[in-house]
Amino acid sequence: MAQAVVSRDSDIMGGAPVFTGTRVPIQTLLDYLEAGDTIDDFLEGFPTVSRQQVIEFLEAAKDRLVESVVLSEKWLEFGVARSPIT
Contact 57, 32 (CB under 8 A): no
CATH, residue 29: 1.10.10.10
Report field, pTM of the whole predicted structure over 0.85:
no
Q: Which domain holds residue 66?
A: 6-77
**What distances in angstroms separate CA 44 from CA 24, 29, 34, 50, one per listed residue?**
13, 12, 17, 10
Q: 12-24 pLDDT, tens per residue?
A: 999 999 999 999 9
Q: Sign of the C-alpha dihedral, residues 76, 58, 41, 49? A: positive
Total domains in the fold of the chain: 1
Mean pLDDT of the 35-41 span: 98
**Per the domain annotation, does 20 fall within a domain?**
yes
Q: Which of 28, 30, 33, 3 lies closest to 13 in space, CA to CA?
A: 28
